[in-house]
Chain A
Amino acid sequence: MKLELSRVVQGRSRLGVLKRLGRAGQHSLEVPGCLLYTHLGTVPHLTQDTLHTQSNLPSVTQVTLSNIAEHQEVLEEFKDGFRKFSGLHDTVLYCSLHDPATPCPTGYTTNKTVSVWGSGGRIELTVAKFMTLQRAVQPDWYQSMADGETWQSNTSRKRVRKSVDRTLAHLDECLLVHQKSQELEGVEVFGAVEGGDILEERVRSARETAKRPVAGFCLDGLQTGSMDQALRTQLITAVTKELPEDKPRLLQGVGRPDEVLECVDAGVDLFESFFPFQVTERGCALCFSFDVSPDPERAGRAPPAVLELDGEKEMAGETQQNGDLNLDDQTQMTSFEINLKDKRYQGDFRPLVEGCGCYCCKNHQRAYLHHLLVTNELLAGVLLMIHNTAHYHGFFSALREALANDKLDLLKRRVLRERDGQT
């Protein structure tokens, strides 16, 4: 894995390409970018046929041990790794610990173990078991075992310090086993940076992790819901200062477009794309505009998705006041989306987003999606997931383009305006 940066804006926002990914080194991923979020290798609701109606999918697929751990036996017997087991072919496989869309119960970590929750309940992992799983999964890169339980705002300094120490100890142990495992030759390890909301602990965790032979860093315990964005920005800025320039930084648990932009500004390269899934699950469609095109014709015309939604925006503005600061509930609708269950879409024969090139928008109308949602039909999830995934990846493309053309501020203003409900 090699990170080639083409631009660094204001010493922090980074534009570049993560190259030589995968064991044969044939893949690359543009940064800032996001990974492909999956349940057990499957993008939620989508078969390979429906997924591949979309081109330009991220070259890296994320799977989590919380999904995989319970299938250890079959993977060990299979021997050829999870990618082949799940019928994925041409993709880089990244294995993280927890599912970013599923809050993980706290209180189950010990000095020697962490726990993941699968469909059959809790599975406790020691480093030995964790590494046995990685040998069976055979990812291209994985997150080292980590104690990330410090996201609650009332976590004590002592507990935070312990999580930093434990996570470093887990990393050392993982690396030791890793070096002895033939199956993991050429596989990269990302170290987890912990430290809760305590700046000194964050810095210590970053410094110490950076001393280890890791390929990149997972910024853990900063997820949406754990703290406000100002504090998150402050912590990330301090952390990225400590990290080597040439290694990627993956932020876990943050997916809202406004937060993504702030975090890119603070030096983050990679995100997990669970946000479109959360939007899909509440029956919503992403519709926020990220067009900062210089073309006067395009720039002069507010994107239709915004213009049409005066009423919606008012409502979304309220959500912003109450919801966006109510950090506990990630299931709540954000102002980046429209709720298609709403009666106003019953007779609306427009696509979800005018001009969107996704399979859903090219073939179906809001009225149909509304119908599928009120009748609880499975196709609703399929079509929404297609659109939301495409829209979200489109946002990341726009983000890179803005960075390349010195327009990140313009993009931020546009997205924040969407959030705050002004059009």
Chain B
Amino acid sequence: MSLKRALSAASPLTLRIVAQCPVTKARACDLILPHCAVSTPVFMPVGTQGTLKGITVDQLEGLGCQICLGNTYHLGMRPGPDLIEKANGLHGFMNWKRNLLTVTVGFRWCLLLSSQEVTEEGVKFKSPYDGKEILLSPEKSISIQNSLGSDIMMQLDDVVSSTVTGPRVEEAMHRSIRWLDRCIAANKNPHKQNLFAIIQGGLNAELRKACLDEMTQRDVPGFAIGGLSGGEEKDDFWQMVTLSTDHLPREKPRYLMGVGYAVDLVVCTALGCDMFDCVFPTRTARFGSALVPWGSLQVKHKQYAKDLRPIDPDCQCPTCKRHSRAYLHALFKSDTAAMHHITIHNIAYQLTLMRSVRESIVEGRFPDFIRTFMKRMFPSRDQYPGWAVDALASVNITLE
């Protein structure tokens, strides 16, 4: 890899590596973006439609969130790029003062849209709102994201399910490289908006490696690891992650897309990833599932009807400081605010977890952190997921 080529002199992004774990591949960085600095490793909550599921921007800021996600496809459909541009971009439209990252379509959503058709030109979707066909080309995707004004834009990639094998995976990988070049060429704001490449290649190590070799030759400010977390075997998943981080340039941020379970976050941080996103914590909250250091707690379950403790007695979030499991259990029957309480708690949980991870990296005790974390998460050693044990062993962490 040529360091000179990889360093983008003009990109509106600076990555400062604050600490490197001496044992694993984990690192703690300050990622300086146009709207504020982001402390990594970082979990980025997802606000698909320009709003975070019932939470106000002040609440999100209050929880310490420095960057959240928006969705190019959804926002491009409604309210549309022209309107958002008039509102001073997505920041102005939703009145969010910190950083935004826009994903192009969203991996799972993409797989859901069975009517999509991929050609060299782009991805053709049938709108779920009015049935109209829309062509999302690399140029169109970037043009929308330029209108949205996100701090980090994602390239349009040719997504195939991680469970698909054969020539389609290779085709998608090569096409994603061609589309990356078209995206780079289409970016009207390279000095204000960062464009990340997305590494594809399915679960095939050779294809991944080929994609990495090609894409790291491009002058982009950051890389995402894509096409994973879509139902593949976890053994394949972590192998692809670690292969990617092995070949990605050290001085650029690595974003692992669609990952948000606590164990995955901790393990993949150890494998060298810096950024993560997932709808899971906020979606599961609306079903009454609160995330806790020992897994999750189903607030709507009858066993909590008379439980007067907070969700997590050690949690410092506004929900845990004020309300009991019993009250939240009761409130779920009366008002949507119950969902908001759990959403706030779950975002707080994710952000606190990543802050603790970072702290432990900075203080040189990340391996110990992992061991304590796993002990708390699983009742016994034999319940540790095998893939996590193997993945951690690959970066010199043995779990007792």
Say which one of B9-17, B86-94, B178-186 lies at the interface with A: B86-94
Query: Contact: B334 with A40, CB < 8 Å?
Result: yes
Say which one of A69-77, A195-203, A308-316, A391-399 lies at the interface with B: A69-77
Q: Are A85 and B334 CB-contacts (below 8 A) given A47-B344, A371-B79?
A: no
Query: Contact: A47 with B95, CB < 8 Å?
Result: no
**A residues 109-126 touching B (CB-CB < 8 Å):** 118-120
Query: Contact: A378 with B336, CB < 8 Å?
Result: yes
Report the minimum CB–CB distance from A376 to chain B (whole Å).
9
Closest B residue to A365 using CB positions = B87
- Docked Cα-Cα span, A86 to B324, in Å, equals 8
Closest B residue to A76 using CB positions = B306
Residue B193 at the chain A interface, CB threshold 8 Å = no
B74 to chain A: which residues have CB within 8 Å? 375
B79 to chain A: which residues have CB within 8 Å? 346, 367, 370-371
B191 to chain A: which residues have CB within 8 Å? none
Query: Contact: A42 with B335, CB < 8 Å?
Result: yes
Q: Are A39 and B53 CB-contacts (below 8 A) given A78-B308, A375-B78?
A: no
A78 to chain B: which residues have CB within 8 Å? 308, 326
Residue A240 at the chain B interface, CB threshold 8 Å = no
- Docked Cα-Cα span, A58 to B58, in Å, equals 23
- Docked Cα-Cα span, A70 to B58, in Å, equals 34
Report the minimum CB–CB distance from B243 to chain A (whole Å).
38
Report the minimum CB–CB distance from B340 to chain A (whole Å).
5
Residue B62 at the chain A interface, CB threshold 8 Å = yes
Contact of B78 among A42, A120, A374, A379 (CB under 8 A): A374
A53 to chain B: which residues have CB within 8 Å? 58
**B residues 64-111 touching A (CB-CB < 8 Å):** 74, 78-79, 83, 86-87, 93-95
Q: Are A372 and B51 CB-contacts (below 8 A) given A40-B335, A44-B335, A45-B336?
A: yes
Residue B305 at the chain A interface, CB threshold 8 Å = yes
> Looking at B59, B305, B340, which has the most chain A CB atoms within 10 Å of its CB?
B340
Residue B318 at the chain A interface, CB threshold 8 Å = yes
**B residues 299-316 touching A (CB-CB < 8 Å):** 305-306, 308
Residue B396 at the chain A interface, CB threshold 8 Å = no
Q: Are A50 and B330 CB-contacts (below 8 A) given A74-B305, A365-B87?
A: no
A71 to chain B: which residues have CB within 8 Å? 330
B24 to chain A: which residues have CB within 8 Å? none
Q: Are A87 and B327 CB-contacts (below 8 A) given A120-B333, A359-B56, A368-B93?
A: yes
Query: Contact: A367 with B83, CB < 8 Å?
Result: yes
**A residues 128-146 touching B (CB-CB < 8 Å):** none
Interface string of B28-67 (1 = CB under 8 A from A): 0000000000000000000001111111111100100000
Q: Are A378 and B53 CB-contacts (below 8 A) given A50-B59, A73-B306, A347-B83?
A: yes
Query: Contact: A367 with B93, CB < 8 Å?
Result: yes
- Docked Cα-Cα span, A375 to B71, in Å, equals 13
B78 to chain A: which residues have CB within 8 Å? 371, 374-375
- Docked Cα-Cα span, A45 to B334, in Å, equals 10
Report the minimum CB–CB distance from A250 to chain B (whole Å).
22
- Docked Cα-Cα span, A212 to B218, in Å, equals 86
Closest A residue to B75 using CB positions = A371
Residue B113 at the chain A interface, CB threshold 8 Å = no
Query: Contact: A70 with B333, CB < 8 Å?
Result: yes
**A residues 355-377 touching B (CB-CB < 8 Å):** 359, 363-365, 367-368, 370-372, 374-375, 377
A295 to chain B: which residues have CB within 8 Å? none
- Docked Cα-Cα span, A42 to B337, in Å, equals 7
Query: Contact: A45 with B335, CB < 8 Å?
Result: yes
- Docked Cα-Cα span, A359 to B57, in Å, equals 11
**Known contacts A47-B319, A378-B53; can you find 14 more A-B pairs with CB under 8 A?**
A39-B331, A40-B330, A44-B335, A47-B318, A85-B324, A87-B324, A359-B56, A364-B95, A367-B83, A368-B87, A368-B95, A378-B51, A379-B56, A382-B340
20 A–B contact pairs at CB < 8 A? Answer: A39-B335, A40-B331, A40-B335, A42-B334, A43-B337, A44-B337, A45-B336, A47-B59, A49-B62, A73-B306, A74-B306, A74-B330, A85-B326, A87-B323, A87-B327, A346-B83, A367-B87, A370-B79, A377-B51, A379-B52
Q: Please give the residue numbers on chain B whose beta carbons come within 8 Å of chain A beta carbons, in ascending order.
A: 49-59, 62, 74, 78-79, 83, 86-87, 93-95, 305-306, 308, 318-319, 322-324, 326-327, 330-331, 333-341, 344
Per CB-CB distance, the 8 closest pairs between chain A and chain B, nearest first, are A378-B54, A119-B333, A39-B335, A40-B334, A39-B334, A87-B322, A379-B51, A87-B323
